[in-house]
Amino acid sequence: MQSLKYLGMMFPLWLALAASAAPSIQSEPIQPIAKAVIRNPAMVELGKKLFFEPRLSKSGFISCNSCHNLSTGGSDNLSSSIGDHWQQGPIRSPSVLNSSLNVAQFWDGRAKSLQEQASGPIANPREMASNHVLALDVLRSIPAYVNEFDKVFGNRNVSMQQVTKAIAAFEETLVTPDSRFDLWLKGNKQALNAQELRGYQTFKTAGCVACHNGPAVGGNSFQKMGLVSPYQTSNPAQGRAGVTGKDADRMAFKVPSLRNVALRAPYFHDAGAPTLEAAVATMGKLQLGRAFNQQEIGDIVAFLHTLTGKQPRIVLPILPASSNDTPRPTPFN
Protein backbone atom coordinates (compact mmCIF):
# COMPACT_ATOMS: atom_id res chain seq x y z
CA MET A 1 0.00 0.00 0.00
CA GLN A 2 2.86 2.37 0.77
CA SER A 3 4.34 1.81 -2.67
CA LEU A 4 0.99 2.52 -4.31
CA LYS A 5 0.68 5.69 -2.27
CA TYR A 6 4.18 6.72 -3.34
CA LEU A 7 3.34 6.12 -6.99
CA GLY A 8 0.18 8.14 -6.58
CA MET A 9 2.20 11.05 -5.21
CA MET A 10 4.79 10.84 -7.98
CA PHE A 11 2.35 10.56 -10.89
CA PRO A 12 1.46 14.29 -11.03
CA LEU A 13 5.18 15.13 -10.91
CA TRP A 14 5.85 12.72 -13.79
CA LEU A 15 3.11 14.36 -15.84
CA ALA A 16 4.60 17.80 -15.21
CA LEU A 17 8.06 16.63 -16.27
CA ALA A 18 6.67 14.99 -19.42
CA ALA A 19 4.83 18.16 -20.33
CA SER A 20 7.94 20.30 -19.85
CA ALA A 21 9.98 17.96 -22.08
CA ALA A 22 7.67 18.49 -25.05
CA PRO A 23 6.91 21.82 -26.73
CA SER A 24 3.57 23.44 -25.97
CA ILE A 25 1.74 23.81 -29.26
CA GLN A 26 -0.20 26.75 -27.92
CA SER A 27 2.99 28.65 -27.07
CA GLU A 28 4.58 28.16 -30.50
CA PRO A 29 4.02 30.58 -33.42
CA ILE A 30 3.56 27.62 -35.78
CA GLN A 31 0.89 24.95 -35.38
CA PRO A 32 0.59 21.50 -36.97
CA ILE A 33 -1.47 21.11 -40.14
CA ALA A 34 -4.64 19.11 -39.71
CA LYS A 35 -5.39 16.27 -42.10
CA ALA A 36 -8.00 16.92 -44.78
CA VAL A 37 -11.57 15.93 -44.00
CA ILE A 38 -13.40 14.81 -47.14
CA ARG A 39 -17.13 15.42 -46.75
CA ASN A 40 -18.19 14.90 -50.37
CA PRO A 41 -15.99 12.28 -52.08
CA ALA A 42 -17.94 12.45 -55.35
CA MET A 43 -17.42 16.21 -55.62
CA VAL A 44 -13.73 15.86 -54.80
CA GLU A 45 -13.31 13.21 -57.49
CA LEU A 46 -15.04 15.42 -60.06
CA GLY A 47 -12.86 18.35 -59.00
CA LYS A 48 -9.75 16.21 -59.43
CA LYS A 49 -10.73 15.39 -63.00
CA LEU A 50 -11.33 19.07 -63.75
CA PHE A 51 -7.99 20.00 -62.15
CA PHE A 52 -6.23 17.68 -64.61
CA GLU A 53 -8.56 18.53 -67.54
CA PRO A 54 -6.59 20.19 -70.42
CA ARG A 55 -9.73 20.63 -72.52
CA LEU A 56 -10.72 23.53 -70.26
CA SER A 57 -8.00 25.45 -72.12
CA LYS A 58 -8.34 26.81 -75.64
CA SER A 59 -5.43 24.70 -76.87
CA GLY A 60 -6.52 21.50 -75.15
CA PHE A 61 -3.00 21.40 -73.74
CA ILE A 62 -2.97 23.31 -70.44
CA SER A 63 -4.63 22.19 -67.20
CA CYS A 64 -4.56 23.51 -63.64
CA ASN A 65 -1.85 20.94 -62.94
CA SER A 66 0.36 22.44 -65.65
CA CYS A 67 1.23 25.39 -63.42
CA HIS A 68 0.39 23.77 -60.06
CA ASN A 69 2.13 20.47 -60.56
CA LEU A 70 1.27 18.08 -57.74
CA SER A 71 4.42 16.10 -58.48
CA THR A 72 6.67 19.08 -57.71
CA GLY A 73 5.33 20.70 -54.56
CA GLY A 74 2.19 22.15 -56.15
CA SER A 75 4.03 24.60 -58.38
CA ASP A 76 5.91 24.37 -61.67
CA ASN A 77 9.39 25.34 -60.43
CA LEU A 78 9.70 27.91 -63.21
CA SER A 79 10.54 31.58 -62.83
CA SER A 80 7.36 32.34 -64.75
CA SER A 81 4.60 29.92 -65.74
CA ILE A 82 4.05 29.10 -69.42
CA GLY A 83 0.60 29.77 -70.86
CA ASP A 84 -1.16 29.79 -74.21
CA HIS A 85 1.16 30.19 -77.23
CA TRP A 86 4.15 29.80 -74.87
CA GLN A 87 3.42 33.13 -73.23
CA GLN A 88 5.20 33.74 -69.97
CA GLY A 89 3.09 34.98 -67.10
CA PRO A 90 4.01 38.15 -65.21
CA ILE A 91 4.65 36.30 -61.96
CA ARG A 92 5.65 32.85 -60.78
CA SER A 93 3.08 30.26 -59.86
CA PRO A 94 2.33 29.88 -56.13
CA SER A 95 1.88 26.41 -54.68
CA VAL A 96 -1.60 24.93 -54.56
CA LEU A 97 -0.62 22.73 -51.60
CA ASN A 98 -2.20 24.01 -48.38
CA SER A 99 -3.71 26.88 -50.36
CA SER A 100 -6.97 26.42 -48.47
CA LEU A 101 -5.16 27.93 -45.45
CA ASN A 102 -4.40 31.19 -47.28
CA VAL A 103 -6.11 34.45 -46.35
CA ALA A 104 -6.78 34.95 -50.08
CA GLN A 105 -5.59 33.58 -53.42
CA PHE A 106 -3.01 34.87 -55.95
CA TRP A 107 0.06 36.82 -54.85
CA ASP A 108 -1.98 40.02 -54.72
CA GLY A 109 -4.98 38.43 -53.01
CA ARG A 110 -7.44 39.44 -55.73
CA ALA A 111 -9.48 36.24 -55.25
CA LYS A 112 -11.08 35.79 -51.85
CA SER A 113 -11.49 32.02 -52.11
CA LEU A 114 -10.27 28.94 -53.94
CA GLN A 115 -13.55 28.83 -55.84
CA GLU A 116 -13.15 32.40 -57.03
CA GLN A 117 -9.54 31.75 -58.00
CA ALA A 118 -10.41 28.67 -60.07
CA SER A 119 -12.38 30.67 -62.63
CA GLY A 120 -9.59 33.12 -63.43
CA PRO A 121 -6.96 31.09 -65.34
CA ILE A 122 -9.53 29.48 -67.66
CA ALA A 123 -10.39 32.83 -69.24
CA ASN A 124 -7.00 34.50 -68.86
CA PRO A 125 -5.57 35.05 -72.39
CA ARG A 126 -2.03 34.51 -71.10
CA GLU A 127 -2.88 31.30 -69.30
CA MET A 128 -5.52 28.82 -70.49
CA ALA A 129 -6.88 31.40 -72.96
CA SER A 130 -10.38 29.96 -73.19
CA ASN A 131 -13.59 31.57 -71.93
CA HIS A 132 -16.30 30.34 -69.63
CA VAL A 133 -18.85 29.79 -72.40
CA LEU A 134 -16.48 27.63 -74.44
CA ALA A 135 -15.27 25.70 -71.38
CA LEU A 136 -18.86 24.88 -70.42
CA ASP A 137 -19.66 23.87 -74.01
CA VAL A 138 -16.80 21.37 -73.84
CA LEU A 139 -18.01 19.83 -70.58
CA ARG A 140 -21.66 19.74 -71.66
CA SER A 141 -20.68 17.93 -74.86
CA ILE A 142 -19.19 15.01 -72.94
CA PRO A 143 -21.97 12.69 -71.65
CA ALA A 144 -19.84 11.21 -68.87
CA TYR A 145 -19.18 14.68 -67.43
CA VAL A 146 -22.86 15.62 -67.64
CA ASN A 147 -23.76 12.45 -65.75
CA GLU A 148 -21.12 13.13 -63.12
CA PHE A 149 -22.27 16.73 -62.59
CA ASP A 150 -25.82 15.41 -62.25
CA LYS A 151 -24.65 12.92 -59.62
CA VAL A 152 -22.80 15.58 -57.62
CA PHE A 153 -25.04 18.63 -58.01
CA GLY A 154 -28.42 17.12 -58.84
CA ASN A 155 -28.84 18.68 -62.29
CA ARG A 156 -27.44 18.24 -65.77
CA ASN A 157 -27.02 21.94 -66.57
CA VAL A 158 -23.28 22.30 -65.98
CA SER A 159 -22.42 25.78 -64.68
CA MET A 160 -19.15 27.58 -64.01
CA GLN A 161 -20.15 27.88 -60.36
CA GLN A 162 -20.33 24.09 -60.18
CA VAL A 163 -17.02 23.71 -62.02
CA THR A 164 -15.17 26.03 -59.65
CA LYS A 165 -16.87 24.57 -56.58
CA ALA A 166 -15.71 21.08 -57.54
CA ILE A 167 -12.15 22.22 -58.26
CA ALA A 168 -12.03 24.05 -54.91
CA ALA A 169 -13.33 20.95 -53.11
CA PHE A 170 -10.46 18.94 -54.57
CA GLU A 171 -7.88 21.63 -53.77
CA GLU A 172 -9.07 21.70 -50.15
CA THR A 173 -7.82 18.12 -49.82
CA LEU A 174 -4.29 19.08 -50.90
CA VAL A 175 -2.84 19.53 -47.43
CA THR A 176 0.49 18.16 -46.26
CA PRO A 177 0.36 17.10 -42.60
CA ASP A 178 2.83 15.13 -40.49
CA SER A 179 6.03 16.92 -41.41
CA ARG A 180 8.94 16.21 -39.09
CA PHE A 181 8.39 19.62 -37.57
CA ASP A 182 4.73 18.77 -36.90
CA LEU A 183 5.86 15.59 -35.16
CA TRP A 184 8.23 17.64 -33.00
CA LEU A 185 5.45 20.08 -32.15
CA LYS A 186 3.34 17.14 -31.04
CA GLY A 187 6.03 15.99 -28.62
CA ASN A 188 8.42 13.74 -30.55
CA LYS A 189 11.77 15.10 -29.34
CA GLN A 190 13.68 12.87 -31.76
CA ALA A 191 11.99 14.33 -34.85
CA LEU A 192 14.52 17.19 -35.20
CA ASN A 193 18.28 17.17 -34.88
CA ALA A 194 20.41 19.80 -33.15
CA GLN A 195 21.00 21.91 -36.28
CA GLU A 196 17.30 21.94 -37.17
CA LEU A 197 16.41 23.03 -33.64
CA ARG A 198 19.02 25.81 -33.79
CA GLY A 199 17.52 26.89 -37.07
CA TYR A 200 14.04 27.07 -35.59
CA GLN A 201 15.29 29.09 -32.64
CA THR A 202 17.06 31.52 -34.98
CA PHE A 203 13.92 31.66 -37.14
CA LYS A 204 11.99 32.74 -34.06
CA THR A 205 14.44 35.09 -32.40
CA ALA A 206 15.37 36.86 -35.64
CA GLY A 207 11.71 37.75 -36.20
CA CYS A 208 10.86 35.54 -39.21
CA VAL A 209 7.78 34.32 -37.33
CA ALA A 210 6.25 37.80 -37.40
CA CYS A 211 5.10 36.98 -40.95
CA HIS A 212 5.65 33.23 -41.22
CA ASN A 213 3.37 31.83 -38.55
CA GLY A 214 0.25 29.71 -38.11
CA PRO A 215 -0.36 26.23 -39.54
CA ALA A 216 0.78 27.22 -43.06
CA VAL A 217 3.85 29.11 -41.75
CA GLY A 218 2.63 32.11 -43.74
CA GLY A 219 -0.17 32.76 -46.18
CA ASN A 220 -2.22 34.68 -43.63
CA SER A 221 -1.15 38.28 -44.27
CA PHE A 222 0.17 40.73 -46.86
CA GLN A 223 3.56 42.32 -46.32
CA LYS A 224 5.72 44.75 -48.23
CA MET A 225 8.64 43.16 -50.04
CA GLY A 226 11.56 45.29 -48.88
CA LEU A 227 10.72 46.72 -45.44
CA VAL A 228 14.23 47.79 -44.49
CA SER A 229 15.54 48.51 -47.99
CA PRO A 230 13.87 48.35 -51.43
CA TYR A 231 13.71 45.05 -53.27
CA GLN A 232 15.39 45.39 -56.66
CA THR A 233 13.52 43.55 -59.41
CA SER A 234 12.58 43.97 -63.04
CA ASN A 235 9.28 42.16 -62.46
CA PRO A 236 6.31 44.48 -63.15
CA ALA A 237 4.03 43.06 -60.44
CA GLN A 238 2.98 45.69 -57.90
CA GLY A 239 1.31 43.43 -55.34
CA ARG A 240 -1.80 44.61 -53.51
CA ALA A 241 -1.58 48.03 -55.17
CA GLY A 242 -2.87 46.43 -58.36
CA VAL A 243 -6.03 45.46 -56.47
CA THR A 244 -6.58 48.35 -54.08
CA GLY A 245 -5.13 51.17 -56.19
CA LYS A 246 -3.35 52.46 -53.08
CA ASP A 247 0.29 53.48 -53.34
CA ALA A 248 0.81 52.28 -49.77
CA ASP A 249 0.12 48.74 -50.99
CA ARG A 250 2.81 48.84 -53.68
CA MET A 251 5.08 45.76 -53.43
CA ALA A 252 2.88 44.25 -50.71
CA PHE A 253 2.41 40.58 -51.51
CA LYS A 254 0.76 37.69 -49.76
CA VAL A 255 3.33 36.10 -47.49
CA PRO A 256 4.00 32.67 -49.03
CA SER A 257 3.51 29.55 -46.97
CA LEU A 258 6.79 27.90 -46.06
CA ARG A 259 5.25 24.45 -45.96
CA ASN A 260 7.11 22.23 -48.46
CA VAL A 261 9.27 25.22 -49.38
CA ALA A 262 12.27 22.96 -50.02
CA LEU A 263 10.39 21.41 -52.97
CA ARG A 264 9.70 24.53 -54.98
CA ALA A 265 12.75 26.60 -55.88
CA PRO A 266 13.15 29.30 -57.14
CA TYR A 267 11.72 31.71 -54.58
CA PHE A 268 9.78 34.99 -54.28
CA HIS A 269 7.09 36.25 -56.64
CA ASP A 270 9.71 37.01 -59.29
CA ALA A 271 11.88 33.92 -58.67
CA GLY A 272 14.64 36.29 -57.60
CA ALA A 273 16.25 33.77 -55.24
CA PRO A 274 17.43 30.55 -56.91
CA THR A 275 18.06 28.68 -53.63
CA LEU A 276 16.77 28.58 -50.08
CA GLU A 277 20.11 29.89 -48.88
CA ALA A 278 19.78 32.94 -51.14
CA ALA A 279 16.17 33.46 -50.05
CA VAL A 280 17.06 33.37 -46.35
CA ALA A 281 19.94 35.81 -46.82
CA THR A 282 17.79 38.22 -48.84
CA MET A 283 14.89 38.09 -46.39
CA GLY A 284 17.24 38.74 -43.51
CA LYS A 285 18.61 41.88 -45.12
CA LEU A 286 15.45 43.32 -46.69
CA GLN A 287 12.83 42.41 -44.11
CA LEU A 288 14.77 42.24 -40.84
CA GLY A 289 17.83 44.40 -41.44
CA ARG A 290 20.01 41.51 -40.42
CA ALA A 291 22.97 39.89 -42.17
CA PHE A 292 22.77 36.22 -41.27
CA ASN A 293 26.12 34.47 -41.11
CA GLN A 294 26.72 31.21 -42.93
CA GLN A 295 25.95 29.03 -39.92
CA GLU A 296 22.69 30.85 -39.27
CA ILE A 297 21.69 30.49 -42.90
CA GLY A 298 22.55 26.79 -42.89
CA ASP A 299 20.64 26.26 -39.65
CA ILE A 300 17.51 28.06 -40.89
CA VAL A 301 17.59 26.16 -44.18
CA ALA A 302 17.90 22.88 -42.25
CA PHE A 303 14.80 23.87 -40.26
CA LEU A 304 12.90 24.78 -43.42
CA HIS A 305 13.52 21.29 -44.78
CA THR A 306 11.65 19.87 -41.79
CA LEU A 307 8.46 21.61 -43.03
CA THR A 308 8.06 19.17 -45.92
CA GLY A 309 4.95 17.16 -45.09
CA LYS A 310 3.29 14.09 -46.53
CA GLN A 311 2.45 14.86 -50.13
CA PRO A 312 -1.10 14.14 -51.35
CA ARG A 313 -1.36 10.64 -52.79
CA ILE A 314 -3.03 11.29 -56.11
CA VAL A 315 -4.31 8.52 -58.35
CA LEU A 316 -4.22 10.08 -61.79
CA PRO A 317 -7.81 10.38 -63.04
CA ILE A 318 -8.91 8.82 -66.32
CA LEU A 319 -10.73 11.59 -68.16
CA PRO A 320 -13.86 10.85 -70.21
CA ALA A 321 -13.54 10.82 -73.98
CA SER A 322 -14.72 13.72 -76.12
CA SER A 323 -17.83 13.28 -78.22
CA ASN A 324 -18.41 14.22 -81.87
CA ASP A 325 -19.96 17.46 -80.59
CA THR A 326 -17.04 18.48 -78.40
CA PRO A 327 -15.50 21.77 -79.58
CA ARG A 328 -12.09 21.09 -81.06
CA PRO A 329 -9.02 22.70 -79.48
CA THR A 330 -7.00 25.43 -81.17
CA PRO A 331 -3.43 24.15 -80.84
CA PHE A 332 -0.48 26.51 -80.88
CA ASN A 333 2.94 26.00 -82.41
- Which residue ranges are tagged as binding site? 64, 67-68, 208, 211-212, 283
CB within 8 A of 60, min separation 6: which ones?
54, 328, 329, 330, 331
Determine the longest span between alpha carbons in the chain, in angstroms: 86
Q: How many Å separate Cα 129 from the centre of its chain? A: 23
Provide the β-strand partners of residue 239.
252
Provide the β-strand partners of residue 223.
253
Q: What is the CA radius of gyration of the chain?
A: 23
Q: What are the binding residues for heme c?
A: 64, 67-68, 208, 211-212, 283
Its sign, for the CA torsion 58, 63, 64, 69, is negative
**Residue from 45, 53, 116, 127 carrying the catalytic annotation:** 127
User: Could you give the CA distance from residue 277 to residue 124 in angstroms, rounded to a whole number?
Assistant: 34
User: Could you give the CA distance from residue 258 to residue 60 in angstroms, rounded to a whole number?
Assistant: 33
Phi and psi at residue 304, in whole multiples of 5°? -60, -30
Q: For residue 280, what is the DSSP state?
A: H
CA separation, residue 332 to residues 196, 217, 233 (Å): 47, 39, 31
Instruction: Please tell me whether the peptide bond between 266 and the residue prior to it is cis, using omega within 30 degrees of 0.
Output: yes
Q: For residue 208, what is the DSSP state?
A: G
User: Could you give the CA distance from residue 73 to residue 94 in angstroms, rounded to a whole number?
Assistant: 10
Residue 127 is a catalytic residue: yes
Q: How many Å separate Cα 284 from the centre of its chain? A: 23
Among 83, 107, 110, residue whose Cα is nearest residue 244: 110
Provide the β-strand partners of residue 222.
254
∠ CA(173), CA(258), CA(306), 5° rounding?
A: 95
315, amino acid identity: V
Provide the β-strand partners of residue 301.
none
Among 54, 50, 46, 38, residue whose Cα is nearest residue 150: 46
- Active site positions, annotated: 127
